[in-house]
């Protein structure tokens, strides 16, 4: 179901770069044409869905038809259980991401600004970030049970690394001439952080934040399925186990929509953080 969104983003990107190469215009697809393409894609996906559901390839009752799905969705969405599941997932996602930001950004900026610390930590960071959060689930469940706390710890483990790495890259992007300008005019260190280090690092941090936000959501839902922690993932798993395929699909689509919203918000944040960046200039003004 996320297929239409991917298609739409590709179109957007093509539209943004094309006028740069061909200032005479004509390369940029019109809004109408884009809308038609998106609608067409959605129709195709829905048609494929309906064919897959009715053909019986995936066994009886395992893939609901569009009609069954729709009536189940109308039934499920107004219930309290549905919104509690969303809240459980999103609250632990938000707390986990916030903790990651609070840890990774100061630590990353510190590591990035000291070559000694960078050399010391690089192998460790590279090692740790390749460990998938999911394989730590048994250990975390053993320690904390199937709780939100366990979920948050694993979310932090998944999202702290991209943020940390981006913070390290961000601080290293500070121009020597800019640093010397600040030194020459005796700018105090508090103002250096505020007007030099953070602004230079902000595009990197925004990218890290987007990657971490998406990774956190995937990990949250995955853990809920595996470890039966409360949330959307738990509902997907439990409905599917009880043969309630349509209900399981409602939660599945909900997870996809949440993913889209999170991506949309953090892509916008990233664009905002880069208003001054050479790659963005002129496209907004």
Partner 1 sequence: MRDTRTAQPASQHIARTQAGRLQNAGASTGLVDSGARMSVRGVSKSYTTDRGVVKQVLASVSFDVAPEEFVAIVGPSGAGKTTLLRALAGLMPPTSGEVYFDGSPVTAPPERLALVFQDYSRSLMPWMTVEKNVTLPLRRKKLAKEVQKRLSSEALAAVGLGDIGTHYPWQLSGGMQQRVAIARAIAYQPDALLMDEPFASVDAQTRSDLEDLILALKKQYRMTIVVVTHDIDEAVYMSDRVIVLSGSPTSVRQVVDVALGTHRDQLVTKSLPEFVELRNTVLTAVRRPVGDPTA
Residue closer to partner 1 by CB (options 89, 166) is 166
Establish if 75 lies at the interface with partner 1 (CB under 8 A): no
* Residue 84: C-alpha distances to residues 76, 215, 248, 255 (Å): 12, 22, 15, 14
Contact indicator for 50, 65 with CB cutoff of 8 Å: yes
Residue 278 three-state SS: coil
Count CB-CB contacts under 10 A for residue 273.
19
- Closest approach of partner 1 to the CB of residue 212, in Å: 23
- Closest approach of partner 1 to the CB of residue 182, in Å: 8
Residue closer to partner 1 by CB (options 21, 188) is 188
Phi and psi at 29, nearest 5°, equal -70, 140
> Of 258, 181, 246, 173, which is closest to residue 214 (Cα–Cα)?
258
Of residues 13 through 32, those in contact with partner 1 by CB under 8 A are none
Establish if 175 lies at the interface with partner 1 (CB under 8 A): yes
Number of residues in contact with partner 1 under rule CB under 8 A? 23
Residue closer to partner 1 by CB (options 127, 185) is 185
Establish if 116 lies at the interface with partner 1 (CB under 8 A): no
> Of 78, 88, 101, 24, which is closest to residue 235 (Cα–Cα)?
88
- Closest approach of partner 1 to the CB of residue 183, in Å: 6
Establish if 83 lies at the interface with partner 1 (CB under 8 A): no
**Residues 99, 110, 125, 178: which binds partner 1 (CB under 8 A)?**
178
Of residues 180 through 209, those in contact with partner 1 by CB under 8 A are 180-188, 191, 195-196, 199, 202
* Residue 135 DSSP label: G
| SS3 labels along 199-264 | HHHHHHHHHHHHHHHHHHHHHHHHHHHHHCCCCHHHHHHHHHHCCCHHHHHHHHHHHHHHHHHHHH
Of residues 263 through 282, those in contact with partner 1 by CB under 8 A are 275-278, 281
Q: Which range touches partner 1 (CB under 8 A), out of 72-80, 161-169, 178-186, 224-232? A: 178-186
Residues that bind partner 1 (CB under 8 A): 175, 177-178, 180-188, 191, 195-196, 199, 202, 275-278, 281, 285
């Amino acid at each position: 179901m996320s297929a239409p969104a991917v298609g739409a983003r590709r179109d957007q990107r093509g539209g943004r770069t094309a006028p740069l190469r061909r200032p005479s215009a004509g390369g940029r697809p019109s809004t109408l044409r884009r809308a038609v393409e998106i609608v067409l894609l959605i129709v195709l996906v829905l048609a494929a869905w309906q064919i897959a559901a009715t053909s019986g390839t995936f066994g009886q009752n395992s893939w609901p038809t569009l009609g069954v799905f729709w009536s189940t969705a109308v039934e499920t969405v107004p219930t309290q259980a549905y919104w509690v599941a969303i809240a459980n997932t999103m609250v632990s996602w938000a707390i986990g991401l916030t903790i990651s930001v609070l840890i990774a950004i100061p630590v990353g900026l510190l590591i990035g600004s000291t070559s000694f610390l960078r050399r010391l930590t690089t192998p460790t960071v590279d090692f740790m970030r390749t460990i998938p959060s999911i394989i730590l689930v048994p250990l975390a469940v053993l320690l904390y049970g199937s709780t939100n706390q366990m979920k948050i710890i694993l979310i932090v483990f998944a999202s702290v690394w991209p943020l940390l790495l981006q913070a390290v890259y961000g601080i290293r992007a500070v121009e020597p001439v800019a640093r010397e300008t600040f030194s020459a005019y005796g700018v105090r260190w508090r103002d250096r952080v505020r007007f030099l280090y953070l602004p230079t690092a902000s595009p990197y941090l925004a990218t890290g934040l987007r990657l971490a936000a998406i990774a956190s959501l995937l990990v949250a839902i995955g853990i809920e399925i595996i470890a039966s922690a409360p949330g959307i993932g738990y509902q997907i798993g439990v409905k599917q186990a009880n043969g309630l395929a349509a209900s399981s699909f409602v939660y599945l689509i909900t997870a996809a929509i949440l993913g889209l919203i999170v991506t949309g918000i953090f892509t916008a944040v990233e664009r905002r953080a880069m208003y001054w960046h050479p790659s963005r200039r002129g496209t907004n003004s």
